Structure 1
Amino acid sequence: MYSTPNLMRRTMLRLLTVAAASASLTSTFAMAQSGKPVRLILPISAGSGVDTIARAAAPALGKALGQPVVIENLPGAGGISGASAVVKASPDGTTLGLVSNNHVINPSVFKSTPFDAIKDVTPISVLGATPLVLVVNSKIPAKNVKELVALMKAKPDSFNLASSGNGTIIHLAGEMFLSEAGVKAHHVPYKGTGPMITDLLGGQVDLGVVALNAVQPYLKSGQLRAIGLGGDVRSPAAPDIPTIAEQGLPRYNVEGWFAVIGPAGMKPADVKRVHDAFATAFTSPEVVEAMKQQATSVKPSTPEEAAKYFRSEADRYARLVKKANVSLE
């Protein structure tokens, strides 16, 4: 028989062995969790502006997170399909979304949506913005806002406004210009930016607002003419193009912003971890340079600033949608 001291020693050794094994398993599990891929959902098609931005930043983002990043395009219903996938995901920080203005516009445009664009997500950071530019085809003689407004007032109901689709930020940015300038134009919606630009180049439509990086080659060649930028300051990528605001419409301020979101209910520690990783990645020299090539500015906000911005932008576009009488099923 074992003596009591020997029995106690053997029992303690077994407990220590079990504890060590448990600690090893816990450590292995934690390492496996940290290496789990992050699913970054883009509610837009591959090749679009936000898609290009995400793919340019993905290597730096994976490094900052310490996890591989898998980009998944889920277009459809103006971005609702992709955002729905984010909303339904586990709030553990492994499923995120990269959204644009359309995320907060949709509730005002669609008669019903399957989720609340504000309450059912966790805004993590508004990462940056791409300048929007008002352009006209080469047949329109106007070279600036004053000349274009004068031309449109002299020939009312003679102009048409192209957009990438009903209720998109491109559409509303155009409607915002008409409203601020006090002019009218017939809206011609297209299924995407590509067809819209094609018809602008061909002269089938007169004017439209579009992302600067999508039309820079045509501005340089003279096939399209820039009337003005939509932001409150000129873009370093096109310093010779004045803003619309500085040309007499001071309230005109709209850009194509992009932000990272997660499902509602994320833990503060996960929000901070994801935010810090995105801020690190998007301010890294290689990503900043890649963004410059796309005429995109980067200035990551805090989660609190992002939440406040989502609400203010939703209110702003709701008023514009109502004024423009935009509604989709």
Structure 2
Amino acid sequence: MSLNFHAFGRRTLLAFAATAALAGFAGGSAQAQSQAPLRVILPVGAGSGVDVIVRSAQNALSRALGGQAVVIENLPGAGGITGTQALVKAAPDGNTIAVLSNNHAVNPSVFKKLPYDSLSDITPITIVGGSPFVLVVNPHKVAAKNARELQAAMKARPGEFNYASSGNGTIIHLAGELFVSEAGVSARHIPYKGMGPMITDIMAGQVEMGAAAVAAVQGQIKAGTLRPIGVMGKERVNSLPEVSTIAEQGLPNVDIAGWFAAVAPKGLPAAQVKRLHDAFVTAFNDPEVKAGFAKRDDFTILGTPEEAARFLKSEQERYAALVKKANVTLE
């Protein structure tokens, strides 16, 4: 039976962390000095959510690997395809990995052809964690204060609402489409080139609403320039405790969040999978790293490689259905 995203919950997996702490330092510093650096490919630009998250754990990951240097390489482009292609071409020697996000599971459905198989050409290590989404509206253009009121307004004015996204075929696009689909309403999709321009235009009233990462709109919500309609996952977030989930408000299938997964090239030996998995568990349970996660409302998952493989397959299938509903196709 495949595990869905929220079946992981917010587990700390302290037992894994204890094991990893012992395993990570077993090689000693002498071995680390003679070992090639761990290359961590990020198929996203510098400063993006995943980039911030991985860099926050860079030093902790190096310590968990017994002092092995960790080099982060940003290879953005083509919705993550450029970086992922570099990963699958790398040698499966345990010295090259990538940290991928939702787009990895979306791309097989939105691109007509990929230069790799998104499931069979990788070795899953762990689903590291996730970032919650919140549906927000412009408070001057939209009177609705919750999901049911927004649903009623959209039904009363069919075709008059627009929802923004950070780009066509992105997870933010599919999050908006999920709400529209589950609410049984219609809305026009307006894609932007990134989260920043999208948020700016919602605040300016050019677009009525959109899904966004909580960390990206915390300030605007607190300032009142954006109004939260509901958190889009199964759990409320610490920074917005008064904002209920959309599922709580009567649309239980609105359950979507950003996630990020550590993967290696196909054929990575089991011993290397374990070494890297244990190191990630230790690094992301580091108190300083966890404090940064809490500040951003991010959360850790850190499940097993087997759970990660099942999760990636189930997410690819789930997004395929959403892409079909949204009629998204990219060249």
TM-score, normalised relative to structure 2:
0.89
What residue identity is the alignment partner of 2:165?
S
What residue identity is the alignment partner of 1:115?
Y
Alignment of 1:178 with 2:168, yes or no, is no
User: How do residues 27-38 of structure 1 correspond to structure 2 at under 5 angstroms?
Assistant: 31=31, 35-38=35-38
Higher RCO structure (Cα 8 Å, ≥6 apart): 2
What residue identity is the alignment partner of 1:50?
V
Provide the rounded CA distance (Å) in 2 between the counterparts of 1:42 and 1:294: 20
Count of residues in correspondence between the two structures: 302
Question: In the alignment, what sits opposite 1:44?
Answer: 44
Give the drift of 1:92: 0.8
User: How do residues 105-254 of structure 1 correspond to structure 2 at under 5 angstroms?
Assistant: 105-139=106-140, 140-254=142-256
Judging by fraction of residues, say which structure has more helix: 1
Question: In the alignment, what sits opposite 2:54?
Answer: 54
Give the drift of 1:34: 5.4
Question: In the alignment, what sits opposite 1:284?
Answer: 286
Provide the rounded CA distance (Å) in 1 between the counterparts of 2:294 and 2:107: 29
Rg (Cα) greater in structure = 1
What residue identity is the alignment partner of 2:62?
G
Tell me the SS of whatever aligns to 2:113: coil
User: How do residues 268-279 of structure 1 correspond to structure 2 at under 5 angstroms?
Assistant: 268-279=270-281
Provide the rounded CA distance (Å) in 2 between the counterparts of 1:64 and 1:31: 13
Structure 1: 5+ residue runs without aligned partners? 1-26
Give the drift of 1:272: 0.2
Q: 1:119-145 CA deviation, whole Å, 9 max, x = no partner? A: 000111001110000000121111000
Identity of aligned residues (%): 59
What residue identity is the alignment partner of 1:35?
Q
Question: In the alignment, what sits opposite 1:22?
Answer: none
Provide the rounded CA distance (Å) in 2 between the counterparts of 1:213 and 1:49: 9
What residue identity is the alignment partner of 1:287?
V
Give the drift of 1:235: 1.4
What residue identity is the alignment partner of 2:173?
H
The 1:175/1:57 distance shift into structure 2, 3 A limit, reads same
Give the drift of 1:33: 7.3
Tell me the SS of whatever aligns to 1:275: helix
Q: 1:5-45 CA deviation, whole Å, 9 max, x = no partner? A: xxxxxxxxxxxxxxxxxxxxxx9xx8367532111111011
Instruction: Give the counterpart of 1:296 among 276, 280, 298.
Output: 298
Provide the rounded CA distance (Å) in 2 between the counterparts of 1:78 and 1:32: 34
Provide the rounded CA distance (Å) in 1 between the counterparts of 2:130 and 2:146: 23
Provide the rounded CA distance (Å) in 2 between the counterparts of 1:322 and 1:141: 31
Give the drift of 1:210: 0.6
Provide the rounded CA distance (Å) in 2 between the counterparts of 1:237 and 1:65: 33
Provide the rounded CA distance (Å) in 2 between the counterparts of 1:34 and 1:41: 21
Question: In the alignment, what sits opposite 1:82?
Answer: 83
What residue identity is the alignment partner of 1:60?
A
Provide the rounded CA distance (Å) in 2 between the counterparts of 1:237 and 1:98: 26
Provide the rounded CA distance (Å) in 1 between the counterparts of 2:45 and 2:227: 27
Question: In the alignment, what sits opposite 1:14?
Answer: none
- Name the Cα RMSD after superposition: 1.4
Give the drift of 1:324: 1.1
Q: 1:183-238 CA deviation, whole Å, 9 max, x = no partner? A: 11110001111111111111101110010000000000000000001111111232
What residue identity is the alignment partner of 1:132?
F
Question: In the alignment, what sits opposite 2:326?
Answer: 324
